[in-house]
Amino acid sequence: MFNFDGFEVLEYHPTGLNVYEPILTVNEKNMIFGSVCFTMLKQPEYVRYLIDPNEKRIAVQGVVKKTKGAVYITPKKSGHQFGIYGTERIAEIRHLMSNWQDHERYKIKGEYFEEENVLVFNFKNAVKFDGGVFQNNK
């Protein structure tokens, strides 16, 4: 039997944000909603992506069945991450934030609205990921 005497729990959160929070990662060519998003949205088969360019927000809503604008997200996929991949829309969305630099990665914590089963991410609250450390993007 292993002896745990002398050991302490090492607190480590590699993202700099709580790993139990809904996080959106915005790269140059994709936007990835973390596995916590999938769980909070009640493990949907489909999601709808919504954008509010005036307030610089993006939302994702979990839906039970295919409806107008809904996208199948392969819920049985390992890791339960989903997102928008390799599309010119990413560049358009990133340019909502004029101070964002190309080739940089940003993370945004979402806010969940249970009644509508939607997560909202405000781009104004994004933090830049830089070499393992998050920096305020202000």
State residue 132's pLDDT score: 52
- Tens digit of pLDDT for each residue in 115-137? 999 999 999 999 987 655 444 44
State residue 19's pLDDT score: 63
Which range of residues forms the domain containing residue 55? Answer: 23-136
* Mean pLDDT (the chain, rounded): 83
State residue 137's pLDDT score: 43
Nearest Cα residue to 20 out of 4, 37, 45: 37
Q: Is the pLDDT of residue 31 over 90?
A: yes
Q: What is the average per-residue pLDDT within 2-28? A: 73
Q: Considering just the CA atoms, what is the radius of gyration of the chain in Å?
A: 17
Nearest Cα residue to 50 out of 58, 39, 42: 58
Nearest Cα residue to 77 out of 29, 35, 42: 35
Overall number of domains in the chain: 1
Q: Is residue 85 part of a domain?
A: yes
State residue 78's pLDDT score: 59
Q: Is residue 35 part of a domain?
A: yes
Q: Is residue 1 part of a domain?
A: no
Q: Is residue 11 part of a domain?
A: no
Higher pLDDT, 9 or 119: 119
Place of tokens 């839906």: 63
Q: Is residue 5 part of a domain?
A: no
Q: What is the average per-residue pLDDT within 16-22? A: 68
- Find the distance separating the first CA and the last CA of the chain, reported in whole Å: 51
Residue 1 CA, chain-centre distance (Å), reads: 41
- Tens digit of pLDDT for each residue in 98-115? 888 888 899 999 999 999
Q: Is the pLDDT of residue 138 over 80?
A: no
Give 16-79 as a DSSP string: SS-TTS-EEEE-SSEEEE-HHHHHHTTS-SEEEEEEETTTTEEEEEEESS--TTEEE--TTSTT
Residue 109 CA, chain-centre distance (Å), reads: 7
- Tens digit of pLDDT for each residue in 33-77? 999 999 999 999 999 999 999 999 999 999 988 888 999 987 666
